[in-house]
Structure 1
Amino acid sequence: MSDNNHLCLLGLIFLSSLLTGVSGVDDAHVFISSGEDVRLPCNNALQDCTSTTWLYNRYSTFAELIRLGRKRKDTESHERLSLESDCSLNIRNISTEDSGSYICQQWTGEGGERLRPDARVYLHVLHVSSSHTEISSGLSVTLFCRLFSYTGVSCDDWIRSESIHLFWVNQAGVKSDSRYQISSSSDHCIISLNKTLLNEDHNREWRCEVTQRDQVKTSVTYTVKSSAEAGSTTSVIPVHSTHSQDPSTTNTHTIKEILTILKTAVFTAPTVILLQIICARRAGRKDSQQPGEIEINTII
């Protein structure tokens, strides 16, 4: 192959990569409330899950949960794990300790070769707690809402990279109320709601929501209920709400990124076609030249 044709091929490969805009397997983000069951997708799965290995990473150390399609019996979460036919990982009764990074790999066998790029899933667990287990009218109470994630990434980094935010909202879905004081922390993804309870707060709901790029992923609702045994004493009862999607398997590509890829395609596609025409014409002239002739490059 001539140098000109080689350059044309490299140009086509480069422009084609601009059109696709993606290489490898996208990371996924899954949001769940503590106490619920979750499914983690394996985006690099093969038809036969006997090649599938699942790893868990939270404190910069890896634990093997699934090896070549079989559960490891020496893990604490062994009884709560199961593997679906599409190689996705099911975890029952999620706790905050289950948050972190999960990696799905495909191997040819023990000591074999990796068949596909790793597929990573970040599991974020939403948990709400109260400063008091039993409360009464006039008592100052603080509700803590925290999102547990992979410890290797700070909350500020999640906000910048994935636009992840926490909000407290009332029964009407309003994010602010003059009666309540809301504070947050940049070190941990945590937001607290401080309030002094009134009599009319009985049966009132407060909901903590986690959003990613302005879409609600999961939430936990706290309701103040009257206690029959304690008379005027009330207790705060957590109620886990349903997910806004199935089940929070969000890839990192957003609508904005898709539009960017489409815009790139609109402007890049004509260039690809033009480069193909140039390569074809040069190849044709090269074949039609007689020995000793000099090729004259023209600008189209």
Structure 2
Amino acid sequence: MSDECHLCLLGLIFLSSLLTGTSGVDDAYVFISSGEDVRLLCNNALHDCTSTMWLYNRFRYSATVELIALGLKKTDTERHERLSLGPDCSLNIKNIAKEDYGYYSCRQYVNDKQQGTDTHVDLHVLHVSSSSSSSSQTEISAGRSVTLSCQLYSFAEVSCGDWICSERIELFWVNQAGVKLTRSDSRYQILSSSDHCIITLNTTLLNEDHNREWRCNVTQRDQVKSSVTYTVKSSGEKTSSSISYGRVC
């Protein structure tokens, strides 16, 4: 991490821990890669789900969107086809998109009265894109330069950079052997954004890069939370992006 992280204020630590799954009774912090499916737990669920509401905010004070109302899925949202309610009142989201990051709340209503406190889930999405194409499939031949951009889309009350510093979040690239790529390797140009929420990898493809993998990891306190693998198909074949979800139990 850059020395800039040492400038972070102690008062910016608003997340006590980052776990895949639940953290305590009222809050959960979930990291996932785009393209994966995710299950958000509702810790305050009652004996059935007819009292359950799932609400969504892109940011803490943005407009609230109803996803599930009294156990029934709302159909007036863009992603309603990807949503479902589990038997334990959890919210299931298929094929996560980078736009799905944000603040999710599970709330219970009985006879028009709220029961208990909300369960909150902060969903953070890791996404990799290539400068060669807007899609994950493009022709790349040996000798051509490729730039891969890995970004963590994150809900945070403070700036992304301050949150990353305070919670010891790190984005970095590794090769298919799991070795971390550094700026000292002359073959790669690796740059981080000023807020540390985006890290790019630029390299020129070689003939031996056929089927080579590069993986972007996001870690918290040196534990892998999620990762995205980008596989290169050279020699006029297609480049494909595959996803793997790393979780810590």
TM over 0.5: yes
Structure with the largest fraction of strand? 2
Map 1:107-256 to 2 at 5 A: 107-109=109-111, 112-132=112-132, 133-150=138-155, 152-177=157-182, 178=185, 179-187=187-195, 189-226=197-234, 232-245=235-248
Q: State the shift of 1:168 in Å.
A: 0.4
Deviation at residue 235 of structure 1 after TM alignment: 3.8
Deviation at 1:113, TM superposition (A): 2.4
Equivalent residue number for residue 54 of structure 2:
54
**Contact 2:82–2:95 (8 Å) recurs in 1:** yes
Structure 1 position 188, deviation (Å): 6.6
Distance 1:163 1:69 in 2: 37
Report SS of the residue matched to 2:120: strand
Unaligned runs of 5+ in 1: 1-23, 227-231, 247-300
The amino acid of 2:142's aligned partner reads S
Distance, in Å, in 1 between the alignment partners of 2:160 and 2:194 is 6
Q: Which has the higher helix share?
A: 1
1:65 aligns with 2:70: no
Residues 100-153 of structure 1, C-alpha deviations (whole Å, 9 max, x = no match):
1101111223xx222111111011111111111322222221100111122654
Match of 1:251 in 2: none
Residues in 1 aligned to 2:58 and 2:129: alpha-carbon distance in whole angstroms: 22
Runs of at least 4 residues of structure 1 off by over 4 A? Answer: none
Q: 1:82 to 1:190 in 2, by over 3 A?
A: same
> CA separation of 1:123/1:108 partners in 2, compared to 1, >3 Å: closer, same or farther?
same
The question of 1:35 aligning with 2:35 is answered yes
Aligned to 1:252: none
In structure 1, what is the Cα distance between the partners aligned to 2:102 and 2:158? Answer: 10
Matches within 5 A, 1:74-85: 74-85=76-87
TM-score (normalised: structure 2) = 0.80
Structure 2 residue matching 1:118: 3-state secondary structure: strand
Mapped partners of 1:142, 1:120: distance in 2? 36
Question: Do 1:137 and 1:199's aligned partners in 2 also have CA atoms closer than 8 Å?
Answer: yes
Contact kept, 8 Å, 1:155 with 1:186, in 2: the verdict is no
Looking at structure 2, the residues matched to 40 and 162 of structure 1 have their Cα atoms a distance apart, in angstroms, of: 21
Please provide the CA RMSD for this pair.
2.0
Q: Measure, in 2, the Cα distance between the counterparts of 1:31 and 1:119.
A: 17
One-letter amino acid matched to 1:184: S
SS for the counterpart of 2:116 is coil
Partners in 2 of 1:29 and 1:151 — Cα distance?
11
How much identity, in percent, do the aligned residues show?
69
One-letter amino acid of the counterpart of residue 170, structure 2: H
Q: Deviations over 1:163-211 (max 9, x none)?
A: 3221100111111251212111134721100112222212111001111
1:216–1:244: 8 Å Cα contact kept in structure 2? yes
Partner of 2:98: 96
Does the 8 A contact of 1:154 with 1:188 survive in 2? Answer: no
Structure 2: how far apart are the matches of 1:25 and 1:96?
26
**Residues 25 and 117, structure 1, Cα contact 8 Å, conserved in 2:** no
Residue 234 of structure 1: how far off its partner (Å): 4.7
Aligned residues: 216
Distance (whole Å) between structure 1 residues aligned to residue 31 and residue 46 of structure 2:
25
Kindly provide the amino acid, as one letter, of the partner of residue 72 in structure 1.
Answer: K
Contact 2:223/2:248 (CA < 8 Å) preserved in 1?
no
Q: 2:114 aligns to what SS in structure 1?
A: coil
